[in-house]
Amino acid sequence: MENPPPLTVGVPRESFPGERRVALVPASASPLMKLGLQMLVERGAGTEAGFSDNAYSAAGAQLVDTRQDVFARADVLAQVRSCGANPTAGRKDLELLRTGQIVVATCEPLAEPQWMREAARTGAVCFALELVPRITRAQSMDVLSSMATIAGYKAVLLAAGTLPRMFPMLMTAAGTVTPARVFVVGAGVAGLQAIATAKRLGAVVRAYDIRPAVREQVESVGGRFVELPLETGQAEAAGGYARAMDEDFYRRQREMMGKVVAESDVVITTAAVPGKKAPLLVTREMISGMAAGSVVVDLAAERGGNCEPTQPGETVKVDGVMVLGPANLPAEVPYHASEMFSRNMVSFLKNLVRGGRPALDADDEIIRETMITRGGEVVHERVRDLLGERAQAAALPGGQTPLRASDAES
């Protein structure tokens, strides 16, 4: 019996507006070949990230001319953004998918679950990388942490470039320049990187997080942890993520943080809860209390924002304070963002492919937690639950037809 042809991993050019990353870089070709996989790349897919077509060819990847070629020939599609993470241009991709084809990408399944229902109808098997469980074995696959590292770093550079003063303390012949005061709200991966970067630039850095366990981490990267007398025992969910708290908690938190915000030259907010709107942490009134020329960088802008005036992708001026709502910061550092994303992707494929063929093993926690669609259905429990909630919420008075229960489960 002849051996089956090697699996082909296809890399199309990203079609989301402003997305400059690529899912696999040329250096990924070698480890994929060791898995028995062939790499197929759309011409120009890595150009904006700094990876030429020649570099892919030299690494052993095969180049094709069109997106349609990639989708038609690939057994596995490796993308940065698919489904709900690319809601406009991504709709055309659904028309190109086929039964049994595997998609590995960020998909926004918790925020945009209806997209996963549409993807399921193509018969494709979709894996959402942002749902990789935070377990030791999966650390090398954690795209959220990789991209948050870049976002935290870039946020500080944006603030430094906008602030009308320097970050470090300087002793000069013209006198002493006092250091900038930076306050980071949220000490996850992005927040810790922001603290470390601001500290390296010479700022005095304070930080706050509702999870008391992160105090030691904040101090380890050079920040001072701000204590707020709030009950935070239930603030951390399984997997190390922040848990959504009630509005009364956030109201009291805002009241207590007001003084710290007013004393700061730069405030960087990073608080996000997976699949939910970002909590409102900094009000317009708090920002108005900052000195003119101060800067706020809201890294949760794409999730609704932690700051009341935030507009995604825009800069808003509030009583002389600049409020930045950057969108997709990792795409602003596309070379290293692509390298890190690519390493995560290769690690995921190493776990997915056994003996040169896909192993869709539901007993594997990583496979189970990231596989959203299979066999024409949405198979991920959390996403199925969300679809059921959306279907129920869509039931309208006046005789209008709601979504059918069967639609919510397929």
List residues with catalytic annotation.
134, 139, 142, 145, 241
Strand order in the sheet with 315-318: 224-225, 204-208, 181-185, 266-269, 295-298, 321-324, 315-318
Q: How many H helices and E strands in the chain?
A: 14, 19
In one-letter notation, the amino acid at residue 305 is G
φ, ψ (nearest 5 deg) of residue 8: -110, 125
Strands (E), 116-178: 125-128, 170-172, 175-177
Three-state helix/strand/coil letters over 46-95: CHHHCCCHHHHHHHCCEEECCHHHHHHHCCEEEEEECHHHCCCCHHHHHC
Using only C-alpha atoms, the chain has a radius of gyration, in whole angstroms, of 23
Question: Residues 281, 272: contact at Cβ < 8 Å?
Answer: no
Query: What CA–CA distance (Å, rounded) separates 371 from 342?
Result: 19
Nearest to 129 by CA among 16, 267, 23: 23
